[in-house]
Chain A
Amino acid sequence: MMDLAYTDAHRAFRAEVRDWMAAHVPKSPLKTLECEEGFNQHREWERVLKSGNWGMVTWPKEFGGRGVDLIEWLIFEEEYYGADAPLRVSQNGIFLLGPTLMEFGTPEQKARFLPPMAAGDEIWAQGWSEPGAGSDMAGIRTKAIRDGDHYVINGQKTWSSRAPFADWCFGLFRTDPESEKHRGLSMILFPLDSEGVTIRPIAQLDGNPGFAEIFFDNVRVPVENLLGEEGKGWNIAMATAGFERGLMLRSPARFQAAAKRLVELYRKKQDTARPAARDLVLQAWQDAEAYALSTYNTASRIMAGGKIGAEASCNKIFWSELDRMMHRTGLSLLGAEAELIGDGAEAAGRWLDGYMFSLAGPIYAGTNEIQRNIIAERVLGLPRI
């Protein structure tokens, strides 16, 4: 029979996380991590997490983790969001680059980059998109040309999340200037304070500089910072994208916490809610639950030696559309309060902030249109265009 019970060890682990979070989660919310003060507050929170050895629980102990399995990771996330703990400023590093380094990095690279990543001492930005390479990422033009022991980078990246305040960046660059499309690309890591790097923050929908353009003017990066083989960057990027769309980036606990707040809001507002609101609230509750079930299923498969494949694209579509629907519904329950932000509008502002952020969900990490192409071509086997 299917074993759907948590073990005693699971329960003990859950209790340990819960107790620690209750004692350490900041009592009042931090400022948004998309301003300097808020970013630093979030970095400080990463250090507090690290002090309890909660930086990245799934990582091996030698790299600053606890070596827990994916079920325990889900338990950690449930307790983390259940405690309303801050967003992870280090997510590009710990969820994306970290696993990529573990798969493709040299022993020296792992030793150099993983511990400070888990400790919050080095916060990572990512550099994929360019003005001419968005959904068509193979259109990357920014060059990294080998010159002795260095690569010399020239060009421009954009929509680089965390870049305004982060320390390091990983991205995809064209190391073979004669190459086209997905060939001749390489994954390179560089410090954002390198000479020749200019960062121009971009105001997001909420007005905060959550991401930035990065300009490269003869930026010299040592060849040790090449991740994986030169010219094989596309495959590495696809693996990273798999982590992003797959399991780690958006754990179900995040949406369950939002669904719970939505139910509470509905209970307060149901006398003035439109009739359809109840259906939407129930749908949100069910879909957050379905996403949790699906993730437990995927985690179980991966723990038994399976891999996450193109179905990661189904996940990304599902959670991003759920997130948007939940926040839209929350706003619809607020009536005239829904437009208010700032002081005195904390409760309403959270739904509005969440709604604005949710509008980015179907766009980042590969637009949902690209995800639907992937499902159609790789799951259903329809012809590529």
Chain B
Amino acid sequence: MDFRFSQDALDLADGARSFLDGANPPERLRSEDGRDSLWPQLAALGLLGVLAPESAGGLGLHDDSFVLIAEAAGRVCLPEPLVALAAISVPAVLATYPDEVGGLVRGDHVSPPVHPLAPYVHDADKADAFIIAGPDALYGVPSSKARLTPVKSIDPNRNLFRVEADLTDDLKVGGAGLCAVMAVRGATYTAAQLLGLTDAMIQMATDYAKEREQFGQPIGGFQAIKHHLASAQVKLEFARPVVYRAAASLDVDSIARQQVHAAHAKIAANEAARFASEVAIQVHGAMGYTFEVDLHYFMKRAWALETIWGDTAHHSMIINQAVIDGGLDIGPGTTFDAA
């Protein structure tokens, strides 16, 4: 029993974080173009293949080595759908057409996931194929057979399309179990990105509170400001271990248990991000309500991620079914599988 990240996982995440900090500064969000220009570097750094086997050019690591990278991607509000592809598509392809994983890892093929909980797909116009969760099976749909309808997100760095296709038997690649895995992965990794966004928004508001002076002193010296930000930090600190446990349990615990862990992770991260975004705009005052500061990019991404892969209502029903209806106990046998 050791609930910590390995040194290798921490080092890998540090590398990813310093690359992302340098490659995706806020100016890139402001330019709102070149939304996929980092693909070659992300692939070259091996970040698309962290969860893919070494035989496919990947690193062959478990999710507890990717969750911090997803958090780092959230922290810089990365436009590229690195997390969706590396943490949802790669495992889905690995479970269905393992020979095809190499193309995804190299960045040659882009096959984003589509799920009833995540029906809008970023940069779908650049995809080669889609991995679509249907009502009772998983489908692999080449882009030629998909119908794309552009839709507009409040987040200017999300280039969204509604993706639809006729899910015929010849496109079936796997059973409903894989759709469930996809949903659990989607919730867990969206939660991880929300942690990063929360961290970034708290940091921005903190930096602003140190600079902005009123009544002859930085506003960050006032307790009203301090307490807002401290409350946001508490939400972040207690969402983190929940998300990390959800990632650690992927492919390890039973799918029913993974679903509860992922639901908890998404609810906690949703709450932390929503709370931090409202605190951050309040601390920025009128400036926060404008395009003059970069906060709005992070806040809008948080709004988007709060709803996809299951909103709080969806995941609360999962916990409700397990705990109230299903009698799932609280304590060591639930916190970690097997007491």
Contacts and interface: CB of A to CB of B under 8 A. Distances in A.
Interface of A: 1-7, 10-11, 14, 71, 75, 78, 82, 253, 256, 259-260, 263, 266-267, 270, 278-279, 281-282, 285-294, 296-297, 299-301, 303-304, 311, 314, 317-318, 369, 371-373, 375-377, 379-385
Contact of A293 (B4, B233, B241): B241
Given A4-B336, A290-B238, A300-B3, A382 B220 contact: yes
A279 B4 CA distance: 31
Q: What secondary structure prevails in chain B residues at the interface with A?
A: helix
Interface in B241-279: 241-242, 244-245, 248-249, 252, 264, 267-268
B230 A14 contact: no
B214 interface: no
A300 B233 CA distance: 21
A10 B1 contact: yes
B231 A300 contact: no
A320 to B, nearest CB: 11
Contact of B220 (A282, A293, A383): A383
Contact of A383 (B218, B238, B241, B324): B218
A181 B314 CA distance: 53
B334 A372 contact: no
B218 A291 contact: no
Given A263-B330, A299-B3, A376-B220, 5 more contacts: A6-B332, A6-B338, A263-B323, A291-B238, A369-B223
Interface of B: 1-6, 62, 64, 202, 206, 209-210, 217-218, 220-221, 223, 225-227, 229-231, 233-234, 237-242, 244-245, 248-249, 252, 264, 267-268, 316, 319-320, 323-324, 329-332, 334-339
A311 B229 CA distance: 14
A317 B229 CA distance: 13
Given A300-B4, A372-B230, A289 B335 contact: yes
User: Which of B226, B249, B336 counts the most chain A CB atoms within 10 A?
Assistant: B226
A260 B329 CA distance: 7
A380 B2 contact: no
Contacts of B218: 383
Contact of B337 (A5, A256, A291, A314): A5
A286 B323 CA distance: 10
B3 A2 contact: yes
A376 B230 contact: yes
Nearest to B323: A285
User: Which of B242, B268, B323, B324 counts the most chain A CB atoms within 10 A?
Assistant: B323
Given A78-B331, A314-B237, A379-B233, A4 B245 contact: yes
Contacts of B264: 286, 289-290
A314 B238 contact: yes
Nearest to A258: B330
